[in-house]
């Protein structure tokens, strides 16, 4: 019998030394068989070093700890099931002192196994994906670990800036030298600057510009400035050069021609099919055919409309009132033109 007992005990010690899976199952089966024959108890002792098992008579927890040569520290935790069905289990969990620094507070606590993440949870410290932890969350805690949680935030701030408008100056011989008229008032635009702030533990660590958006474009001021001799029309007929305000060649001249001014909405057309624009003028096409090239100026050269194309007509002109109605891009300029007696040089009539 003693040899059988020794054999059972050797088998059980071997099974426990190999782990808690299939080997533990074998040990339990062996223990049950052993109890059936001898009526003794199987005692399992577990700590951080593994699992031990022995066949012992029923005794107190203090006696069992003394048998397994264990003296728990005051901070250790001992879990004891007592003898249930001739099987007793003792689990010794040794405390590991861990210090956590988070949110400006240092906490020292005893942790019974587990990972860094579990230690933070036990300390009721929530972290998010932006926060930095000095140790990997999945790593088991060690006695004396010092864990630092650094709070990281990424915030956006906005700055709105004025975008000053500019003044576009257009010179015209409609006014005396140096005189000014505002065709339109300007207004400032708006820019929105967006900054990304990196905040560490409540303090801004760095700031970077992430976008610069124009949320309202400025509207430039349009200003007319008087300057004698500046032509209104952008047209140029190079085959008819002008010297001292007189074309070097032309078909005929209309003096004291009554010339008024008009304007139209952007994109308007003309009777001749051309676009309404400075340089395209209205005439009585029975006297001046559409498509006629002209040069229009005051006799003294202070006002110069410039090269012009007969492109349009009007009821007043067709009724015999006036020689030409000069087109301007703005109503104000047409008013400034008013009623003028000008020289109209007929450069070329269409064939």
Domain ranges of the chain: 2-93, 96-150, 154-224, 231-348
pLDDT of 113 strictly over 90 = no
pLDDT of 189 strictly over 80 = yes
Higher pLDDT, 333 or 82: 333
Tell me the C-alpha distance between 134 and 203, whole Å.
19
Higher pLDDT, 309 or 19: 309
Domain 154-224 in CATH 2.20.230.10? The answer is yes
The whole-number average pLDDT for the span 135-152 is 94
State which CATH number among 3.30.200.20, 3.40.50.920, 3.30.43.10, 2.40.40.10 fits the domain covering 231-348.
Answer: 2.40.40.10
Q: How many CA atoms lie within 13 Å of 205's alpha carbon, on the beta-carbon side? A: 11
Task: Please report the pLDDT score of residue 61 as a whole number.
Answer: 87
Same fold flag, 96-150 and 154-224: no
pLDDT of 323 strictly over 60 = yes
**CATH class, range 2-93:** alpha beta
The secondary element (H helix, E strand) that includes residue 30 is helix 22-38
Average pLDDT, the chain: 89
Phi, psi of 52 (to 5 degrees): -120, 155
CATH architecture for the domain at 96-150: Roll (3.10)
Task: Please report the pLDDT score of residue 10 as a whole number.
Answer: 55
Q: Which residues pair with residue 293 across a beta bridge?
A: 309, 348
Label residues 229-258 b or e (16+ Cβ within 10 Å = b). eebbbebebeebebeeeebeebeeebeebb
Among 7-16, 48-57, 89-98, 289-298, the range of highest mean pLDDT = 289-298
Task: Please report the pLDDT score of residue 220 as a whole number.
Answer: 96
Which residues fall within 8 angstroms of residue 256, CB to CB, at 6 or more apart? 341
pLDDT of 32 strictly over 80 = no
Lowest mean pLDDT among 16-25, 78-87, 201-210, 311-320: 16-25
């Amino acid at each position: 019998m003693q040899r059988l007992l020794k054999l059972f005990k050797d088998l059980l010690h071997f099974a426990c030394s190999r782990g808690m899976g299939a080997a533990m199952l074998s040990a339990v089966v062996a223990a049950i068989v052993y109890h059936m024959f001898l009526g003794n108890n199987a005692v399992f002792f577990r700590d951080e070093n593994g699992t031990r098992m022995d066949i012992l008579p029923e005794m107190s927890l203090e006696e069992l700890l003394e048998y397994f040569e264990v003296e728990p520290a005051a901070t250790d935790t001992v879990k004891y099931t007592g003898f249930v069905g001739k099987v007793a289990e003792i689990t010794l969990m040794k405390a590991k002192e861990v210090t956590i620094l988070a949110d400006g507070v240092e906490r020292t606590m005893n942790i019974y196994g587990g990972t860094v993440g579990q230690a933070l949870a036990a300390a009721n410290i929530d972290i998010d994906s932006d926060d930095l932890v000095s140790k990997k969350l999945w790593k088991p805690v060690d006695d004396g670990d010092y864990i630092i949680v650094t709070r990281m935030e990424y915030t956006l701030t906005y700055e709105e800036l004025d975008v000053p408008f500019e003044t576009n100056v257009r010179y015209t011989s409609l006014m005396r030298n140096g005189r000014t008229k505002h065709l339109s008032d300007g207004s400032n635009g708006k820019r929105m600057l967006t900054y990304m702030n990196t905040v560490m533990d409540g303090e801004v660590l760095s700031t970077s510009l992430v976008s610069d958006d124009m949320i309202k474009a400025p509207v430039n001021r349009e200003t007319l400035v008087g300057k004698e001799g500046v032509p209104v029309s952008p047209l140029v007929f190079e085959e008819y050069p002008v010297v001292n305000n007189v074309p070097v060649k032309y078909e005929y001249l209309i003096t004291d021609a009554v010339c008024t001014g008009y304007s139209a909405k952007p994109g308007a057309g003309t009777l001749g099919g051309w676009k309404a624009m400075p340089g395209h003028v209205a005439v009585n096409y029975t006297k001046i055919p559409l498509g006629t090239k002209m040069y229009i100026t005051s006799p003294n050269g202070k006002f110069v409309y410039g090269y012009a194309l007969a492109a349009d007509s009007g009821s007043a002109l067709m009724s015999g009132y006036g020689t030409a109605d000069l087109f301007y891009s703005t109503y104000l300029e047409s008013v400034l033109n008013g009623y003028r007696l000008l020289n109209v040089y007929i450069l070329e009539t269409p064939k």
